[in-house]
A and B are shown apart, each in its own frame.
Chain A
Amino acid sequence: MKQFWKSMLRSPSGVIGLIILLFAIAVAVFGPMLFPNSPWRMVQRPFLPPFTLSTVPLGTDALGRDVFAGMIFGARVSLLVGLISTLVALIVGVPIGAMAGYFGGNVDDALMRFTEFFQTIPSFALAIVLVAILQPSIYSIVASIAVVSWPPVARLVRGEVLSLRTREYVQAAVVTGQSNTWIILREILPNALSPVIVLASLMVATAILLESSLSFLGLGDPNLISWGYMVGAGRTVIRQAWWITVFPGVAILISVLGLNLIGEGLNDALNPRLSREGR
């Protein structure tokens, strides 16, 4: 573990990514406590440009709502949706991939055809359809993002398991008569985890983008503010009021960038094949 942090902190992109992520999390957790005003409240005249009033530093939107408050509350929704939907996708994808890779044969065939069934449908289109059918709410959004994001996890885990399956220590475990569950959980998965972690960090970024895209299209939870919603609502007035769209857009950009940098850092830190100093 110590080794991991050491190499993680040695990669500059990982450090920058971590700083961005920690900052975003801090905003999401503590921001609403510091700025308790609802982001839906109409506080000032509409279309107030940014940096004119200290009470609404980033200006107001078409209804006179505080863009800054929207950014802070939006961080909560965007990060939460990103993390939870990734978690759900992992919970679905990892076991499916592990079982397919470990058991092989018919089980593999069945599970992979099932996975491909989801992969053949363009993921964003599927997400739109699911949210539209289930009615937009935070739950349906998380669910639909999870549904479209688990297949790559399953395929990745399957590949890893397939290669680990033939290693001596796994075969030794089989010979000593340990149960399949035990072997998968204790022998194979821990060793297959590194690429999954890297993938997961990128999936959080993708999920944030997906949620933003859905909200942008008006399929967000109407009771929660999110960055994508703000961009979508401000898009149509971008020629009159750039700030409504630009600030949340930048927030999306930076947090997605941060997560990608973390992914890169993780990749460096976890990949044993990359030569590191001191090895």
Chain B
Amino acid sequence: MPKRVLLGLLLACGLTASALAQEPKTGGVINAVIQPEPPGLMLAMIQNGPTQMVSGNIFEGLLRYSPKLEPQPELAESWSVSEDAKTYTFKLKKGVTWHDGKPFTAADVLFSIEMLRQTHARARNNLGQVDKVEAPDDDTVVFTLKQPFGPFLGIFEVGSMPMVPKHLYEGTDWKTNPYNNAPVGTGPFMFKEWQKGSFIRLVKNPNYHEKGKPYLDEIYWQIIPDAAARSVAYETGKVDVLPGGSVENFDVPRLSKLKDTCVTGAGWEFFSPLAWLWLNNRQGPLADKRVRQAIMYAIDRDFAKDAIWNGLGKVATGPSASTIRFYTDDVPKYPYDPAKAKALLKEAGYKGEKIRLLPLAYGETWQRWGEAVKQNLQDVGMNIETIATDVAGGNQKIGDWDYDIAFTYLYQYGDPALGVGRNYVSSAIAKGQIFNNVEGYSNPEIDKLFADGAVATPDSRRKEIYEKAQKILVDDVPVAWMLELQFPTITRCKVKNLITTGIGVNDGFKDAWLDK
């Protein structure tokens, strides 16, 4: 265990050796910003970003993941995989109790899985290969798969598979269960109160199953709707933690320079948000691969990174973020090359047809990015019209396939079978959704590669398959990959060990402590 913490520290915080030697101190209150106010805290039913961030303290999963996405124990103490890679046995930690004092057992795991299959779309998908789940005794859970499923050990994080108390939910109407408003989990912090529009208060779980943890007494999640006001709240000392994305990018350099302020981009390895442009492959000039390639050459992505994202993040090379398993950068490259873009457009016979660009209505940063991309594309002779719209209107247009180019960013969940394939396989094309295969790309070879990759064994075989898929996709440019986003977390330096895993702030504050 200490080794894990050490590793996490080195990778996540980059702290100096002297800091490592420090003993965690107990006590203190952390004020953190939560943006926007979550619609609810019942993680099994609501998976919004802010819900995950707050409820990651209340609930727990069987496993958590290091910044390198290696599984680590949480509610499961150990696990083993059978020879044929179809049976996974988890040994649960003993002596774990729910916040109301009842013991946590294998029956809760079985119940949670049953419930999540109905309430949690991604969990349902992740559990698709599971044939049966059994609990031979109170501390053991055995998953039997229909066929080997490579990413299986990657689906047990708290946001993907939170454990729900069976004794409070069984036999009730889940949607109206009173515990949705005062959730009960096994996590390091317990729900205390929620003043709507003001704050959510969590208090220390004195009976937490990791002795001595958590170190903090309380967490206040402050709800501040205005971005400028959130920055000011940090400057004036009202809050100590600004999770990634809670202040506008242009405020990051200013806030980073403040006294006693630490900034880290760590803690997003599991989600690995990747920004790209949906290119409508179905119609018009963008149906031509050469036009799509021209778009990749025409856009100055380094400029976007430096000027719009303040140098944070990384220029994407293809469909996988570099933190995702089986990532390869051995793919065709698209440097900023307007001349080449023009030549490709000419070759494709592009005649100045109007192309509609849909920026993402998530605030200033995305608006500026839309303007920069528009200018890049106009510079190579494309006729771009920006469509102004709000979030709902944009989602509607994307869902109806009523766009030519549209901004987006999606999480990748660590493994190509969980977060990458869904955006390119033809079975994931469905009108009305804003995730998955929105661009309408359809390639039987890619379909087959992703289908094979999910179930292939061993990992070296999966690697081969996914590398081939990445090469084909990067050449076809079904969407225009922009940046691997980084949402810096800004904290006072006295807040230690806030981010220790690849799930970051969403993984709860159990290791965090205040240096007074």
CB–CB A42/B372 < 8 A: yes
CB–CB A62/B390 < 8 A: no
Chain B residues with CB under 8 A of A137: 388
Chain B residues with CB under 8 A of A64: 307
Chain B residues with CB under 8 A of A240: 250, 253-254
Q: Given contacts A62-B250, A132-B390, A223-B386, are A41 and B368 in contact (CB under 8 A)?
A: no
The reply to whether the CB of A233 lies closer than 8 angstroms to some CB of chain B is yes
Chain B residues with CB under 8 A of A46: 307
Q: Given contacts A41-B375, A63-B368, are A221 and B388 in contact (CB under 8 A)?
A: yes
How far apart are the CA atoms of A221 and B389 in the complex, in Å? 11
CB–CB B367/A239 < 8 A: no
The reply to whether the CB of A180 lies closer than 8 angstroms to some CB of chain B is no
* Chain B residue with the shortest CB-CB distance to A61: B368
CB–CB A40/B371 < 8 A: yes
Q: Given contacts A40-B375, A240-B250, are A62 and B307 in contact (CB under 8 A)?
A: yes
The reply to whether the CB of B228 lies closer than 8 angstroms to some CB of chain A is yes
* Chain A residue with the shortest CB-CB distance to B303: A42
Chain B residues with CB under 8 A of A236: 227-228, 248, 250-251, 364
* Chain B residue with the shortest CB-CB distance to A240: B254
Chain A residues with CB under 8 A of B368: 62-63, 233
Q: How many residues of B contact A (CB 8 A)?
A: 28
The reply to whether the CB of B308 lies closer than 8 angstroms to some CB of chain A is yes
Q: Given contacts A62-B250, A62-B368, are A223 and B375 in contact (CB under 8 A)?
A: no
How far apart are the CA atoms of A135 and B386 in the complex, in Å? 11
CB–CB B388/A136 < 8 A: yes
Chain A residues with CB under 8 A of B367: 218, 233
B405 nearest CB across to chain A (Å): 14
How far apart are the CA atoms of A218 and B359 in the complex, in Å? 13
The reply to whether the CB of A12 lies closer than 8 angstroms to some CB of chain B is no
How far apart are the CA atoms of A71 and B465 in the complex, in Å? 54
CB–CB A41/B379 < 8 A: yes
The reply to whether the CB of A237 lies closer than 8 angstroms to some CB of chain B is yes
A135 nearest CB across to chain B (Å): 6
B457 nearest CB across to chain A (Å): 48
CB–CB B389/A135 < 8 A: yes
CB–CB B364/A63 < 8 A: no
The reply to whether the CB of A104 lies closer than 8 angstroms to some CB of chain B is no
Give a binary string over A44-87; 1 marks a CB under 8 Å from any B CB, 0 the rest: 00100000000000000011100000000000000000000000
How far apart are the CA atoms of A36 and B240 in the complex, in Å? 48
A236 nearest CB across to chain B (Å): 6
CB–CB A233/B364 < 8 A: yes
Give a binary string over B220-236; 1 marks a CB under 8 Å from any A CB, 0 the rest: 00000001100000000
Give a binary string over B110-148; 1 marks a CB under 8 Å from any A CB, 0 the rest: 000000000000000000000000000000000000000
